[in-house]
Structure 1
C-alpha cells in the first residue's frame, strides 16, 4: 500500500484551517483581555463567562464526540459478541447532559466557581481537595493519549502514514492553538471540527450502504441464520453488566472538569441548561453514522473485498473497523473525507482535555496553594506551560499502548466510582466533610481494586453474584459492581461525615484533634452575632474562603 498523497494534502489543509481558526480566536481573546477588568484567568479558562450560546453547544458536543465515541460505537456494532445494543455512548450521554443541566449546572454556575474542584477546596480544604485533583489530572493526560492513539491507528489504515508522524503532528497543532487562545481557541475550533464531523460522516454513509460487497443491513439486523446479527442482544444474565456500563457512561461524565468548563463559561444558568439539552440531541444524531458503519461492516463479505480473509474481527482489528470499512468499502476520496471526521473528533476532545487539566493545576494547585499572590501575567504562563506539559505527557504515553489502556480504564472507573459520589456529596449534602470524603475515597479505591478487571489481567478478590466466564471464557463480573461501589462510596462519605460531626460536636474528642477544622467551618453559618462585615454566602464568600482555606 503506497502513501496516500491526495489524502495527506487534504489533511494538511484541514490542519491549517484549524490552526488558523485557533490563531484568530486567540486574537479575539487578547482583545477581550485588554477590556477585561476582572480576573484574567476567567478570560483564558472560561472565555469571560460569556461564551456565545451556539458556540457553547458546539464545544460541549465536540468534547464528548471524540475519537473514542466514533470508533467505539462502530466497533461495538460490528463486534459479533456485542452488537448495537452495546454501543451505549449516545443514549447515556443524553442522560449526562440532562442531569447536568437540571441539577449540577445551577450550583456550579451560580457560585461562579472556576473549576469543578473549587467546591471541594472551599469545603474540605487544600489537603483533601489536592488528593482528589490527582485522579482528575491523570484521567485528562490519559484522555489525550487515547485520543491520539485512535487517530494514529486510523491514519495508518487510510493514509498509510507512519503512526508516529500522525500523532506528533496532531498533538503539536492542538497544543499550539490551545495555549494561544485558551477556551476561545478551543471553542471556536470545536465549531469547525463538529461541522466537519457531521458532514464527513454523513457523506460516507450512502457510499457504505450501497457498496456491492455488503448485504442490506435490514436483512442482517436480527437474522439468526446470519453469522453476526449487528443489532445484538442482551441476555438476562448480561443485564447487570449492560446496566453497569450504561450508568458508568451516564454518570461518570458528570465528574469531568471538561463538562463544567463549558457550564461555567455560559453567561447564565439558563444558558448553561440550554447548552446541555441541545448538546444531548447533537450527540444522538452524531452517533447514528457510526452505528451504520458498524452494521455495514458486520454485513460485509470480506472475502470479496481487497481486505480478504480472515475478517477484521478474526484479525483482532475490530477497534479499527471504521477506517477499515472506509478504506475497502468506499472510493478513495470518500475514505479521505472519513479520516477528516476522525481527526476532527480526536482534536476536539484532545484540546478539551488539555485545557481541563491546565485549569485544575493552575487554579486549584498553583493559584490557591503554591502562590496565592500570583499575578494575572504569571498565571497566563502557568496555564500555557500546563497545556504543553499535559500535551507532551499524553503524546509520550501513546508509545506505551497497553499501559495507556490500563490507566485509561482506571481513570474511567475512578470518575464514576470515586469522583461522582464525591461531587454529589460536596454539592448537595451539607453534612459531608473532609473526614467522610477521605474514608469514602479509600473505601471506593479498595473495593474497585478488589473487584478485579479482566481487560488488564487483575483477578477479582471480591466475586459479586453472577461472576462467571463470558463468551470468550474470561471470568467477568456480570453484577453491576461498579454502580454498587459508587453507591457504597457515596453512603460511606455521608455516614462517616455524620459520625465525625457527632464526635466533635458532642465533645467526644477535643477540637485539637479536629485536623480538618470541620467545627470551625460550621460557625460562620450558625453564629447569631454575625455582622455585615462577615463574609456573605455565595460567590464572594466562595472566593474569599478559597483564598484562605488550608489544611
Structure 2
C-alpha cells in the first residue's frame, strides 16, 4: 500500500507514467513538426488547413470528451449516488449527436474559425467579446476538473505530491500543445484513446471478480443503481437537458468540426464521437458501481475512503486489480486527462487570440499575421494552463466542477449561438448584451453551493431539507436558458422597432446590420 504516511514513492509506477508522458509529448512535437508547413492562411494556427481526416477527427473528438473529469467523475458519482445520477455520460453523448445534426454544417457555412465568429456576424464585435467570457471560463473549469482528476489519481496510487503531479502534467500538456496546435492535439488523441480503451477495459473484469466485489451484485442492486427521490425528479431532468444542450457550445467541439475536411466528415465525427464516449464510459461506471457494493472492510482503505471519494477510480484500480493491470489503468486515466487538457487549453486560447486580441488589433487598424497569431496563441495557452493548474488545487469534487462548466455554457451561450445560426434576422447586438447581463445575474442570484454563492432567488419548491447543496428543486437552469432566449428576441425587437436608428455616432452594439465576416471593420469597441 502507498497510503500510509512515510511510505516511499512507487518508483515502478512513476517510471511508467513518465515514459507515457515522454511518449505523448514526443508524438505531439512530431505532429507539430510534420505539419509545420500547413495552416498558412488566416487563423491557420487554430484550424490548420481544415484538412483533418474523418478517422483522425473521430479519435480526437472522442478523446476530447473522454477526459479525466468524465472518467473519474462518472466513477465518483456512481459510487456516491448510483448509476441513475451519472447524467454527464448521457447528456454529453447526446450533445454531440445533436451538434452533428443541427450545428456542424450550419457553423461551417459561416466560414468561422472559432465558435464566436457567427456570434460576431450576428451581434457585432462587443457582444461577441462579452460572450467569449463564459466560453473561456467553461474551458478553464474543464481544464481544472481534468487536472484535479489526474492529481488525485497519481498522488493516491504513486504516493506522490498532488501539487507536483498536477504541475508536471499541465506542463507536459502545455509543451506539446504549444508545439503543434490542432495537429499535435489531434495526433496525440489517437494514442491517448488507445491507452484509455486498453487500460480500462482490461481492468474491468478484474474489478468485477475481486473478492470484495464478487457476489454482492444481486442483493445490492438498489445501492449501485441509486434512486431519484420524487422531489428531485424535476431538477434531475433539468440537469440532463442542461448537459445535453449545454454540451454543444464548446470551442473544443467546434474546433474539430471546423478543422474537418468536409461537412459530411464533420457530421460523421460528431456521431461516431457520441458512440465512442458511450462505449468508453462503461468501465468507469462499472468500477464505480463495484466500489459502491464492495466490502471495503476486506481492504486497508475502510474508513480512509470516506474522505477521499473523488479518488474512487484509482483506489479501485489499486485494490481490486493485479499490480500490472492497475498500472495500465492508471495510464489510461493519465491518457484521458492529457487528451482533454490539451484540447481545452487550445480552445480557450483560440478564442482569446482570434476573438479578443485580433479584434482589438483590427479596431486599431492593425492586421495580425498568421505567424504573430501563432505566437499569441502559444502565450495564451501557457496563461490558461497556469490559471487552470492553480484552480485545480482548490476544488473538492471533480464531478461538480465538470457539471458546473456545462451549466455556465448552457445558460449563457446556447441561446446566443442557436439564435445566431437560426434567427440571425431577428436578433442584434443590443438584444445580445441585454440577454447576457440578464442571464448572468439571474443565474448567479439563483445560487451555487459549489462556489459558495447563496441563493437570493428561491425558485418554487426550494427546500434545503431535501438537499442542502442543491436546494433548487425547480428546473431553474432550463427556465433561465429559455428566459435568456426570450430576452434576446424581445430586446432585439424593441431595439430594431422602437429605438432611434439615426444616431450620427454609431458603435457596433447599436448596429442592426450584422457585420460582414469578410470585411475588416474599423468600428470602435
Q: TM-score, normalising length from structure 1?
A: 0.88
Q: Does 1:242 align with 2:217?
A: no
Q: Which residue of 2 aligns with 1:111?
A: 110
Q: Output the CA distance in 2 between the equivalents of 1:18 and 1:407.
A: 26
Q: Output the CA distance in 2 between the equivalents of 1:376 and 1:473.
A: 51
**Cα distance, 1:365 vs structure 2:** 1.6
Q: Which residue of 1 aligns with 2:434?
A: 439
**Cα distance, 1:403 vs structure 2:** 11
Q: Which residue of 1 aligns with 2:257?
A: 263
Q: CA deviation digits over 1:65-123, x for unaligned, max 9?
A: 111110111111111xx210110122212321121111111121122200011112223
Counterparts of 1:188-199 in structure 2 under 5 Å? 188-199=187-198
Q: Give the match's secondary structure for 2:517.
A: helix
Residue-pair matches, total: 515
1:9 to 11, 15, 21: 15
* Contact map agreement 1:139 1:408 (CA 8 A) in 2: no
* Contact map agreement 2:429 2:509 (CA 8 A) in 1: no
Q: Output the CA distance in 2 between the equivalents of 1:517 and 1:456.
A: 32
Q: Does 1:22 align with 2:28?
A: yes
**Cα distance, 1:281 vs structure 2:** 0.4
Q: Does 1:339 align with 2:333?
A: no
Q: Which residue of 2 aligns with 1:100?
A: 99
Q: Does 1:360 align with 2:351?
A: yes
**Cα distance, 1:471 vs structure 2:** 5.1
* Contact map agreement 1:220 1:299 (CA 8 A) in 2: no
CA RMSD of aligned residues (A): 2.3
1:282 to 258, 276, 279: 276
Q: Output the CA distance in 1 between the equivalents of 2:454 and 2:511.
A: 42
Q: Output the CA distance in 2 between the equivalents of 1:190 and 1:501.
A: 46
Q: Does 1:325 align with 2:316?
A: yes
Q: More deviation in 2-11 or 410-419?
A: 410-419
Q: Output the CA distance in 2 between the equivalents of 1:69 and 1:512.
A: 52
Q: Does 1:452 align with 2:451?
A: no
Counterparts of 1:38-437 in structure 2 under 5 Å? 38-39=41-42, 41-42=43-44, 44-79=45-80, 82-216=81-215, 218-223=217-222, 229-308=223-302, 310=303, 312=305, 315-371=306-362, 372-401=366-395, 411-429=405-423, 430-437=425-432
* Contact map agreement 1:135 1:411 (CA 8 A) in 2: no
* Contact map agreement 2:20 2:331 (CA 8 A) in 1: yes
* Contact map agreement 1:121 1:549 (CA 8 A) in 2: no
Q: Give the match's secondary structure for 1:141.
A: helix
Q: Output the CA distance in 2 between the equivalents of 1:276 and 1:497.
A: 32
Change (3 A) 1:245 1:185: same
* Contact map agreement 2:73 2:398 (CA 8 A) in 1: no
Q: Output the CA distance in 2 between the equivalents of 1:156 and 1:517.
A: 49
Q: Output the CA distance in 2 between the equivalents of 1:509 and 1:386.
A: 38
Change (3 A) 1:289 1:52: same
* Contact map agreement 1:107 1:427 (CA 8 A) in 2: yes
Q: Output the CA distance in 2 between the equivalents of 1:509 and 1:363.
A: 30
Computing the radius of gyration over CA atoms, which structure comes out larger, 1 or 2? 1
Change (3 A) 1:271 1:139: same
* Contact map agreement 2:145 2:401 (CA 8 A) in 1: no
Q: Output the CA distance in 2 between the equivalents of 1:68 and 1:121.
A: 31
Q: Runs of 5+ in structure 2 lacking a partner?
A: 3-7
* Contact map agreement 1:211 1:329 (CA 8 A) in 2: yes
Q: Runs of 5+ in structure 1 lacking a partner?
A: 224-228, 525-540
Q: Output the CA distance in 2 between the equivalents of 1:404 and 1:209.
A: 24
Q: Which residue of 2 aligns with 1:497?
A: 492
